[in-house]
Amino acid sequence: MKVCRPTIVPLFPVYDGKTSLLHIHTLAPTEALTDANDATVARRMNEAVEALVRPNPEQYTWMLKLLKTRKPGDPNPYKSPSR
């Protein structure tokens, strides 16, 4: 962010199991944080995540699964023991 100076648009996917649709909720682009210290950037990012997650907290852990990465050879924590 500090190098490329992009516009950052916070977003959060929400899956609707009844309609099988994925809705993407967004917030307004963030103000320029290129000169902010790391603590300020982290606080603003956390505020955006909290605002997006608050209406659908049950979706947050689903999103986290998408973000988890494993080292090569590590067991898959999401794989059912029966598979």
Provide the domain limits for residue 58. Answer: 11-67
d(CA 19, CA 22): 9
| CB contact at 8 A, 71 and 32 | no
Burial class (CB in 10 A: 0-12, 13-18, 19+), 25: middle
- Neighbouring CB atoms inside 10 A of 12's CB total 20
pLDDT at 3: 77
In three-state secondary structure terms, 28 is coil
Average pLDDT value for the chain: 82
Residue 75 maps to a domain: no
Residue 83 maps to a domain: no
pLDDT of 12 above 80: yes
Task: Give the chain's domain count.
Answer: 1
Residue 63 maps to a domain: yes
pLDDT of 45 above 80: yes
Residue 15 maps to a domain: yes
Mean pLDDT computed over 30-59 = 87
